[in-house]
Amino acid sequence: MQLQIEKESFVTNQYHTIIIGAGHNGLVAAAYLAKQGKKVLVLERRSIVGGSMVTESFGENFQADSIHAGGTLRPDIIKDLKLVSHGLHVDSSRQPFISLLPDSNSLILDPNPVKAAESIKKFSERDASRWDEFVRFMDKAAEILDVAYATIMPRLPKNMNLREGYGLLELGLELRLAGRKDMLNFIRALPMSAQELVEEYFESEIIRAAIASVAIHNSTLGPMSAGTGYTLIHNWLNRGGLSHSNVGKAGEITSALANAVKSFGGEIRTDVEVAKIKIENQIAKGVVLANGEEISANRIISSADPKHTLLKLVGAQDLPPEFVWHTQSIKMRGSVAKVHLQVNGNHGIPAGTLCIAPSIKYLEKAYDAAKYGEISEKPYLEVTTSGNVVSIHFQFAPYHLKTGDWRLETKKVEKIAIETLTEYFPNLQSLVSNLKVITPLDLETTYGLTEGDINHGQLQLDQFLFMRPIPGWSNHKTPIDNLYLCGSGVHGGGGVSGASGRNVVKVLK
Amino acid sequence: MFNLKTTPFHERTSALCQPQNWRKWAGYFSAGSYEHVLDREYWAIRNSAALIDVSPLIKYVIKGKDAAALLHRVTTRDIHKMKVGQVAYTGWCDEEGKMIDDGTVSRLDEMMFRLTAAEPNLRWLSMNAVGMDVSITEVTDEVAALSFQGPNTRKVLNKVVEMSVDELKYFRLMKNRINGIEVTISRTGYTGDLGYEIWMTAKDAIKIWDTLMVAGADYGITPVGILAMDMARVEAGLFMLDVDYTSTTHAWIEPQKSSPFELGLDWTVALDKKGYFVGRRALEKEKREGSLWKMVGLEVDWVGMENIFKRVGLPPQIPGMAVRGSLPILVGNVQVGYASTSTWSPLLKKYIALAHLQKPYFEVGTDVRMEITVEHHRQHAPAKVVKLPFYEPEWKRK
């Protein structure tokens, strides 16, 4: 008997680690591990890598960043993984953030604060003079959040041990170093609504709303919702300000990551869907693919969202009941749709990140629709362009519709998006030669995002820090030994940064 | 306003309950005793046939393809090994391996079970049934139950049942008919004696009661309340939720919780069973490392107690029923545990208690002292740790 056990434990797996999902977080984790010399296999359901960080072709001469408009990984990741040598072009030039207004008198928030202040001046002299202070606070707040996102959260205090507590101590120290006043302002800002936060700085509704729109981007929340102070800081951190960077190059980032994985000796297989994680006595042993093939590994890291990973790939039967209850309770509720337009001719849309967010109330009403399971008739849009392609980010288009079915509502989103934008660019509608709509249902079925939630779980204060993905399990671990989470649904995640993919490597045995 | 419910036997039990000492049991009126002193009822359990209304037991019917899987996951027993017609006593735990409740699982059919519980467990069962093809229905009101306990019960039952219960083994059940009425009879009970539990539809309750009372007249059949049963269950070494242990669902602090090992339920924890079950990890760890507490039997030394009473000029005084109160237990002058239920055993002629002792004092044979109150003064009577149960007649399993 004894002999048999020993023999079993010496069976060597072909792979040290299997990573489920080749999104940016999965690839970051894979690259770090491969760089350490671990035998890594990344399994991707789609035929292309990238997950939500992907540039796809939707027709001839029609390429767009499907979900995230560009983005950038944390600088330490780019450096650690030598991504520049693997094909990443670091473009530090920034485009302006523009709030489109009906009278074609747009607010242009240029990355250059002097230029931004000039534009603000048209709306309020006072606000122009406060721009610098606001940017300074946001940069500082984002810096503090960045430190928090680099710190592995301890489990609930009940379970906290010295080693876990150490991370918090470091975080505490960092916060102290941030300065007492900034730290207090940061903590105070988190539970505030975006509206309350921007009102403290600005008097012009136009400026307030433009900034508040970034707070609700990818969230099923309105600018009057508590906790959108936090999401504003979160998005500011990931974007490095208000506007997107590297628009049209989302796929380039994940391609560079995939190159890095391979060059470090890792393996990536596409077109393979993981159907089940193989578990014996609460220990992950490998994966079972949809085609029945089994691959064993010493450990499994899933970059899929926690709900999918735990309830579908593991299954409730192998998990403790309270854990299952918490996992079921993770708020997903995506409400983002994407409308990509191929345009033939000069659309006249300026470069940069454009938003249709004329007032706080406009944004809040757009969100109201989502509360009642309806598509916003007057949506909050964010628009980016890349060559002949116009990409429209549409909120709110709730995954859970009160009536109707997403298979039939696609046209409605398409129509509202194009008509709304055409009000500002009258030629646009007639120039559209091809288009691609991605509904919340597509986000789920094509991109594997449960309930179409791009963040793998809403970024809300009860799903934040040591409560992300669920209370007591914020350290990437699960009740299944050797199964770890590294997607956007874990602390550090949500949006594009690679933090959760980087962090998981720190907690591995 | 919250009103207690009455059981399907209330028409009979209320007419018989002379002391009107109704107790509250799971939201129902339950007769404490039918007479003013417990002696006759207690001796009916041990010498003849006691008829006890146990309808307040909370009952669930668990049905479906995954019914066995659900109970396998929730309880500590290996449910997949159970045969149809088998009954298993079990506790169930939270993820930390601490007891939530205890009861019996009856396999009524390949895909149908009945679970009894002391307290409502629907939420817990539902939480555990995520992703399973199973239905959980509470049938507490719909199913009436009589516990029929004592050495004469087999003879009485055989007079009224369609199929003899002679072959019905300990912790098995059978479908049967009494007076043409469909019932399920299980060879189970809460007294440690020969006994059966009869499960029936609520509307048939009175007819079954009457039939048994007539058939049992010559065999000393006696309606028995829960106070006499309380004495018998201590003799049998059986504990009670909220008296001898606290459910994790209402413990205020960690030390109030108990694991099945700490309650002496080692034999019900199937660590060799397949797959996950709630609390598995914690129970494996406790098994490896050993338990810090253990529930044991305690026999108070009669002579020692006599001496303590003699000092104030009294003969030993013992309560006439089981005492559900915590009594400190000492070794030297250090408290090493407590008794949770103590009773005079009329059969054994001993003062006995269910006691929770810390390691290493729970070893059989350990000399301890239990607190008693003599003329308003706290005294400590010498006592010894003994094996449970205190009483186990050969006919219990035969």
Question: In this complex, do A282 and B124 lie within 8 Å of one another by their Cβ atoms?
Answer: no
Chain A, window 108-147: residues with a beta carbon less than 8 angstroms from a chain B beta carbon: none
Taking the C-alpha atoms of residue B43 and residue A129, their distance in angstroms, rounded to an integer, is 94
Chain A residues lying within 8 Å of B280, measured CB to CB: 282
Nearest to B6 by CA among B206, B246, B273: B206
**pLDDT score at A10:** 40
CA–CA min distance A114, chain B (Å) = 58
Domain endpoint, select from A445, A465, A480:
A445
pLDDT, average across residues B361-366: 97
Q: B107 has which bridge partners?
A: B113
Taking the C-alpha atoms of residue A375 and residue B221, their distance in angstroms, rounded to an integer, is 73
CA atoms within 13 A on the CB side of A468: 28
pLDDT at A13 over 90: no
B73 touches chain A (CB under 8 A): yes
* A225 and A281 within one domain: no
Q: Give me Rg for the CA atoms of chain B.
A: 21
- DSSP class of A13: P
Chain A residues lying within 8 Å of B275, measured CB to CB: 317-318
**pLDDT score at A158:** 59
Neighbours of A474 (CB within 10 A): 23
A322 touches chain B (CB under 8 A): yes
Contact A268, A227 (CB under 8 A): no
Q: How far are the Cα atoms of A160, A185, A240, A456, B230 from residue A178, in angstroms, in the given order?
A: 25, 11, 18, 30, 66
**pLDDT score at A509:** 66
pLDDT > 70 in chain A, percent: 95
Which of B94, B132, B276 is closest, CB to CB, to A282? B276
pLDDT, average across residues B262-279: 96
pLDDT, average across residues B209-217: 98
Q: How far are the Cα atoms of A51, A160, A175, B326 from residue A148, in angstroms, in the given order?
A: 25, 17, 9, 49
- DSSP class of B219: G
pLDDT, average across residues A286-315: 96
Q: Are strands B28-31 and B87-93 parallel, antiparallel or unpaired?
A: unpaired
pLDDT at B96 over 90: yes
* A500 and A463 within one domain: yes
Report the run of H or E that residue B21 belongs to, with start and end.
Answer: none
pLDDT, average across residues A13-35: 96
Q: Are strands A107-109 and A97-99 parallel, antiparallel or unpaired?
A: antiparallel
Chain B residues lying within 8 Å of A276, measured CB to CB: none
Secondary structure (3-state) at B115: strand
Which of B94, B131, B281 is closest, CB to CB, to A282? B281
What is the 3-state composition of chain B as percent helix, strand, coil, each rounded to the nearest 5?
25, 35, 40
pLDDT, average across residues A260-267: 97
pLDDT at B100 over 50: yes
**pLDDT score at A1:** 36
* CATH of segment(s) B59-139+259-289: 3.30.70.1400
- DSSP class of A44: -
Secondary structure (3-state) at A290: coil
| Location of structure tokens 């009589």 | B146
Domain endpoint, select from A211, A239, A267:
A239
pLDDT at A63 over 80: yes
Domain annotation covers residue A314: yes
B285 touches chain A (CB under 8 A): no
Tell me the average pLDDT of chain A: 93
CA–CA min distance A219, chain B (Å) = 28
Nearest to B360 by CA among B327, B388, B385: B385
Contact A466, A153 (CB under 8 A): yes
Tokens representing residue B13 in the block: 């039990």
Domain annotation covers residue A61: no
* A196 and A162 within one domain: yes
CA–CA min distance B67, chain A (Å) = 13
* A230 and A252 within one domain: no
Tokens representing residue B46 in the block: 């041990």
Tokens representing residue A421 in the block: 């934008």
Taking the C-alpha atoms of residue B352 and residue B73, their distance in angstroms, rounded to an integer, is 36
- DSSP class of A417: H
Tokens representing residue B108 in the block: 């009524």
Contact B170, B104 (CB under 8 A): no
Domain with CATH 3.30.1360.120 in chain B: 10-57+140-224
Chain A residues lying within 8 Å of B132, measured CB to CB: 316-317
Report the run of H or E that residue A337 belongs to, with start and end.
Answer: strand A336-343
Tokens representing residue B226 in the block: 């829960």
Contact A223, A216 (CB under 8 A): yes
Q: Which of A156, A158, A311, A317 to probe the B interface (max B CBs under 10 A)?
A: A317
Q: How far are the Cα atoms of A113, A131, A142, A207, A209 from residue A121, in angstroms, in the given order?
A: 12, 10, 26, 10, 16
| Location of structure tokens 């959980």 | B136
* A256 and A226 within one domain: no
Domain annotation covers residue A170: yes
Which of B127, B132, B275 is closest, CB to CB, to A325? B127
- For chain B, the distance separating the N- and C-terminal CA atoms, rounded to the nearest angstrom, is 48
Confidence of residue A8 (pLDDT cuts 50, 70, 90): very low
Question: In this complex, do A321 and B124 lie within 8 Å of one another by their Cβ atoms?
Answer: yes
Burial class (CB in 10 A: 0-12, 13-18, 19+), A485: buried
- Identify the CATH homologous superfamily for domain B293-394: Aminomethyltransferase beta-barrel domains (2.40.30.110)
CA atoms within 13 A on the CB side of B228: 29
Residue A9, C-beta contacts closer than 8 angstroms, at least 6 positions apart: none
Question: In this complex, do A317 and B281 lie within 8 Å of one another by their Cβ atoms?
Answer: no
Domain annotation covers residue A110: no
Contact B27, B56 (CB under 8 A): yes
Domain annotation covers residue A368: yes
Tokens representing residue B19 in the block: 């002391």
Domain annotation covers residue A466: yes
- CA B76, B82, B85, B86 dihedral sign is negative
Taking the C-alpha atoms of residue A467 and residue A465, their distance in angstroms, rounded to an integer, is 5
B276 touches chain A (CB under 8 A): yes
Nearest to A90 by CA among A261, A255, A246: A246
Question: In this complex, do B276 and A323 lie within 8 Å of one another by their Cβ atoms?
Answer: no
Domain endpoint, select from A239, A266, A283:
A239
Say how far residue A410 (Cα) sits from the centre of its chain.
23
| Location of structure tokens 């009952």 | B59
Q: Give me Rg for the CA atoms of chain A.
A: 23
Taking the C-alpha atoms of residue A435 and residue A389, their distance in angstroms, rounded to an integer, is 9
pLDDT > 70 in chain B, percent: 100
pLDDT, average across residues B81-87: 98
Q: A296 has which bridge partners?
A: A286
pLDDT > 90 in chain B, percent: 98
- Identify the CATH homologous superfamily for domain B10-57+140-224: Probable tRNA modification gtpase trme; domain 1 (3.30.1360.120)
HEC string of A118-170 equals HHHHCCCHHHHHHHHHHHHHHHHHHHHHHHHHCCCCCCCHHHCCHHHHHHHHH
pLDDT at B224 over 90: yes
Q: How many residues does chain A have?
A: 509
A317 touches chain B (CB under 8 A): yes
- One DSSP character per residue, B77-90 reads S-GGGPPTTBEEEE
* A361 and A320 within one domain: no
Neighbours of B140 (CB within 10 A): 22
* A321 and A341 within one domain: no
Report the run of H or E that residue A505 belongs to, with start and end.
Answer: helix A499-507
Domain annotation covers residue A96: no
pTM summary value: 0.91
* A341 and A488 within one domain: no
**A311, closest residue in chain B (CA to CA):** B131
Secondary structure (3-state) at B382: strand
Secondary structure (3-state) at A18: strand
Number of domains in chain A: 3
Nearest to A452 by CA among A306, A336, A307: A336
Question: In this complex, do B130 and A316 lie within 8 Å of one another by their Cβ atoms?
Answer: yes
Taking the C-alpha atoms of residue B16 and residue B27, their distance in angstroms, rounded to an integer, is 20
Domain with CATH 3.30.70.1400 in chain B: 59-139+259-289
Chain B residues lying within 8 Å of A320, measured CB to CB: 95, 278
* A412 and A340 within one domain: yes
Contact A437, A338 (CB under 8 A): yes
**pLDDT score at B391:** 97
Taking the C-alpha atoms of residue A319 and residue A479, their distance in angstroms, rounded to an integer, is 7
Query: Helix H segments across A310-388?
Result: 321-328, 360-371
- For chain A, the distance separating the N- and C-terminal CA atoms, rounded to the nearest angstrom, is 28
CA atoms within 13 A on the CB side of A380: 33
* A277 and A131 within one domain: no
Q: How far are the Cα atoms of A419, A425, B19, B344, B351 from residue B320, in angstroms, in the given order?
A: 87, 94, 15, 7, 11
Backbone φ and ψ of B59, nearest 5°: -130, 135
pLDDT, average across residues A471-477: 91
Tokens representing residue A492 in the block: 């550090």
Neighbours of A413 (CB within 10 A): 23
Beta strand residue intervals within chain B, DSSP E: 22-25, 28-31, 49-53, 58-63, 87-93, 99-109, 112-117, 135-138, 143-149, 173-178, 181-186, 195-201, 221-223, 293-300, 327-331, 334-345, 350-358, 367-374, 377-386
pLDDT at A178 over 80: no
Confidence of residue A162 (pLDDT cuts 50, 70, 90): low
**pLDDT score at B332:** 93
CA–CA min distance B109, chain A (Å) = 22
Identify the domain containing residue A16 by its residue range.
Answer: 2-54+247-331+457-507
Nearest to B229 by CA among B10, B31, B15: B31
* A437 and A343 within one domain: yes
Tokens representing residue B29 in the block: 């009126």
- DSSP class of B395: G
Question: In this complex, do A317 and B276 lie within 8 Å of one another by their Cβ atoms?
Answer: yes
**B273, closest residue in chain A (CA to CA):** A281
* A376 and A358 within one domain: yes
Domain annotation covers residue A18: yes
pLDDT at B15 over 90: yes
CA dihedral B59, B61, B62, B63 (to 10 degrees): 180
Nearest to B112 by CA among B68, B150, B167: B68
**B130, closest residue in chain A (CA to CA):** A316
Domain at A306, CATH number: 3.50.50.60
- DSSP class of A11: P
A325 touches chain B (CB under 8 A): yes
Which of B95, B124, B131 is closest, CB to CB, to A315? B131
pLDDT at A65 over 50: yes
